[in-house]
Amino acid sequence: MENLVTRYRNVTILMVVLFAQVLGLAMQVRRSTQDESTRLIRVWAVDAITPFEKSIVWFQSGISNLWHNYFYLRGVRQQNRELKLEIERLRIEQVRLNEDAEQARRLQALLGFKEQFISKTLPAQVIGSSGSEQSRSIYIDKGSHDGVRPDMAVITADGIVGKVLRVFRTTSQVLLVNDQTSGVGAVLEKSRLQGVLRGTPLGEVVLEKVMSDEAVQPGEKVVTSGGDQIFPKGLAVGTVTKVSPGSELFLNIRVRPAADLSRLEEVLVITQQLEKEPALADGGLPMRAAEILAQRLPSVPDRPPDDPNSPPPPTSGLKIYSAPAIPSPATGAKPAGSAPTAANPKPHAAAGTPGNAASSTNPDGSSAQPVSPPKPHPPAAQPSDHATNTTFSQPQPASSKSASPPTPPSTPTPTTQEPPQ
Amino acid sequence: MPITYTSNEQIEVYRFSLPAAILIPLIALFLQAFIPLRFHFFSIFDLPLLVVIFFAVARRSPVAGLLTGAAIGLLQDSLTGHPLGLYGIAKTVVGYGASSLGVKLDVENAGSRFLVTLFFYVVHEIVYFTVARGLVGLTLQWSWSRELGSALANAFLAVILFALLDRFKQRT
């Protein structure tokens, strides 16, 4: 036996090394993909390679900046003039888009949608790749020290790039969307058909799980659906280039990524997302009828909610309970208190619904009576701009709230208006 | 250029200094990870594989060859998003095979280097695909035309690269 091993020493060592690697591979496959048992080897390799890459990228960008910012300035004046013209054009367009956006927010608020906002991003430079055609991933120069965590979305100005797969101290590995192990929730922009975006072994991107009886046209844009809990909703993914019948009942939709994944230099890591219901105006939160009335009727005394003997406030028509600490619907929280009031309506009239205040119920169970449509108001004082459609028959400009004396309680008559259809 | 058979007495065994033995594979890994960012076509090359073949045929020791292949392959694996061992296994086999071949054949000339690299590139890809599909479950697509094209490109590069790396050889 000993002679046999000695005679076949090389083959024996080969078998042992191969067996050890196959065993290790099988253990990794059996465990989850986020298995950290191989982290040490990966850290060694990344720490050995990435300093070279960082140095080269730093040197390269330094030279490039020096050249482009101090020497090669040909055509800059002309470009500056063109950019100024472009700014003017964009300003005009912005005004129109603001109007559209505001209308969209109002409609979203009506439907109680929640939006995901990118609240914080971290710019990062691409310093390396996996170096393999079978694994499409890149390395960026930001790691756990910079606040990067696994599963954070990585994007460019053009569209999505991928997600953070592994995080090291000063670098991170990003799995590109064209890797065959990646998956992104996506939706076709016009037809609103949802699918899963996957990479292929050849590095292409396809949209899967779209039924074959749906009509999808080449050229249609694809955006993120937000269903994967990684990418915020509505980010550009790419454009449909080819549609063909796929296996089983699904279409084979090929997508050209919006971001050029083969020429990535700088990316943004989305380090923080906020999910909230849309606000109706810039910086403003939806106001309820009671809030508006509380501002307009400073003389209305506060009434303890659990004091049944206190006299009712001197209002005509609608009885108002002062509720100074009303949380906005944007936070999703509801005010403390038990009795349904105008500020805290019945449970079925959930917070965040614009019609809450319009259908506000008095403590005695009677409903506010709807009256005639509102008259035009100055923009700053229009309660109808908010989620509540409560208006006043004698509105006051916003400036009068502080300058003019308090309005007598009986002067404004709160009215309600049906929400816009 | 014909491949000539050499007896064990005729062959020369080389060794490498420790810095060269460590830095050459690291530089190959670095270039393999960095250059495709700027020149995407470069990803068809496999510089770590070429280094494994070079060390294996120069040292002419199957054990050293397979261990070198395993180490470089595992390092290459650790830069990818896949489990460790795919490149490790493939390069272990290549390291062993190339060093075993180096004992039997004269692989010092350009023609033999070209053919050896061509052959072992295909072997490497077959082993990689087999393990990746059979053990890990990756859905890779084998294309003979693509693989042969990559093998030719790597073989051409190997002739140039091996000539450069010959400078680091030290006679035993």
H/E stretch holding A184 reads: strand A183-188
Residues of chain A found within 8 Å of residue B84, distances taken between Cβ atoms: 24-25, 28, 38, 41-42
CA-wise closest residue to A391 among A406, A405, A404, A378: A378
Q: What is the mean pLDDT of residues A121-140?
A: 88
The answer to whether the CB atoms of B78 and A41 lie below 8 A apart is: yes
Same domain, A258 and A160: yes
Q: What is the mean pLDDT of residues A27-55?
A: 76
The answer to whether the CB atoms of A10 and B96 lie below 8 A apart is: yes
pLDDT confidence tier of residue A113, bands split at 50, 70 and 90: low
Same domain, A240 and A318: no
State whether residue A204 sits within 8 Å of chain B by CB: no
CA-wise closest residue to A184 among A208, A217, A215: A208
Same domain, A302 and A417: yes
d(CA B47, CA A189): 43
According to the model, what pLDDT value does residue A399 have? 38
- Given a contact cutoff of 8 angstroms between Cβ atoms, the answer to whether A43 and A37 are in contact is no
Same domain, A312 and A183: no
Same domain, A298 and A421: yes
The answer to whether the CB atoms of A131 and B132 lie below 8 A apart is: no
- Given a contact cutoff of 8 angstroms between Cβ atoms, the answer to whether A269 and A121 are in contact is yes
Look at B101 and A333; give whichever has higher pLDDT.
B101
CB nearest to A128's CB, from B37, B44, B75: B37
What single string gives the DSSP state of each residue in A329-373? Answer: GGG----S-SS--SSS--TTS-TT-THHHHT-B-TTSPBPPP-SP
State whether residue A132 sits within 8 Å of chain B by CB: yes
- pLDDT digit string, tens, across residues A215-254: 788 888 999 988 888 888 888 899 999 888 877 778 888 9
Same domain, A243 and A292: no
Sequence length of chain A is 421
Rounded to 5 degrees, what are φ and ψ at A102? Answer: -65, -40
State whether residue A39 sits within 8 Å of chain B by CB: no
**8-state DSSP, A418:** P
Same domain, A132 and A258: yes
Q: What is the mean pLDDT of residues A96-102?
A: 85
Lowest mean pLDDT across A25-39, A91-105, A182-196, A309-323 = A309-323
Residue A101 in domain: no
CB nearest to B80's CB, from A17, A22, A135: A135
CA-wise closest residue to A122 among A89, A99, A145, A97: A145
Rounded to 5 degrees, what are φ and ψ at A101? Answer: -65, -40
Instruction: Choose the final residue of a domain: A244, A259, A276.
Output: A276
CATH number at residue A141: 2.40.10.340
pLDDT confidence tier of residue A191, bands split at 50, 70 and 90: confident
Contacts of A323 by beta carbon, 8 Å cutoff, 6+ apart: A290, A291, A294, A335, A337, A341, A342, A343, A344
What would the two tokens of residue A345 be?
């309506």
Look up the domain containing A298 and give its range. Answer: 280-421
Distance of residue A59 Cα from the nearest chain B Cα, in angstroms: 14
Helices marked H in A194-324: 289-296
- C-alpha distances (whole Å) from B142 to each of B14, B120, B122, B132, B146 are 36, 16, 11, 12, 8
d(CA B81, CA B20): 28
State whether residue A173 sits within 8 Å of chain B by CB: yes
Residue B143 in domain: yes
- Given a contact cutoff of 8 angstroms between Cβ atoms, the answer to whether B11 and B172 are in contact is no
Strands (E), A200-306: 205-208, 221-224, 236-245, 251-257, 266-276
Same domain, A134 and A186: yes
Minimum Cα–Cα distance from B23: chain A residue: A48
Residue B24 in domain: yes
Same domain, A308 and A271: no
Contacts of A227 by beta carbon, 8 Å cutoff, 6+ apart: A185, A194
Same domain, A289 and A409: yes
A54-92 burial: b if 16+ Cβ within 10 Å, else e: beebeeeeeeeeeeeeeeeeeeeeeeeeeeeeeeeeeee
Q: How many domains does chain A have?
A: 2
Residues of chain B found within 8 Å of residue A38, distances taken between Cβ atoms: 78, 83-84
State whether residue A19 sits within 8 Å of chain B by CB: no
Same domain, A298 and A382: yes
- Other C-beta atoms closer than 10 Å to the C-beta of A154 total 30
> What residues in chain B have per-residue pLDDT under 50?
1-7
Instruction: Choose the final residue of a domain: A276, A298, A319.
Output: A276
The answer to whether the CB atoms of B135 and A25 lie below 8 A apart is: yes
Residue B2 in domain: no
pTM > 0.90: no
Residues of chain B found within 8 Å of residue A45, distances taken between Cβ atoms: 29, 75, 78-79
Instruction: Choose the final residue of a domain: A224, A252, A276.
Output: A276
Three-state DSSP at A301 gives coil
Q: Which of A135, A138, A176 would best serve as a mutation to test chain B binding (most B beta carbons within 10 A)?
A: A135
Look up the domain containing B123 and give its range. Answer: 14-171
Q: How many domains does chain B have?
A: 1
| Per-residue pLDDT at A268 exceeds 60 | yes
Residue A99 in domain: no
Report chain A's C-alpha Rg in angstroms: 31
| Per-residue pLDDT at A367 exceeds 50 | no
CATH number at residue B146: 1.10.1760
d(CA A51, CA A48): 7
| Per-residue pLDDT at A214 exceeds 70 | yes
Same domain, A227 and A304: no
Residue A29 in domain: no
According to the model, what pLDDT value does residue A35 have? 57
Q: What percent of chain A has pLDDT over 70?
A: 61
Residue B7 in domain: no
Residue A51 in domain: no
Residue B133 in domain: yes
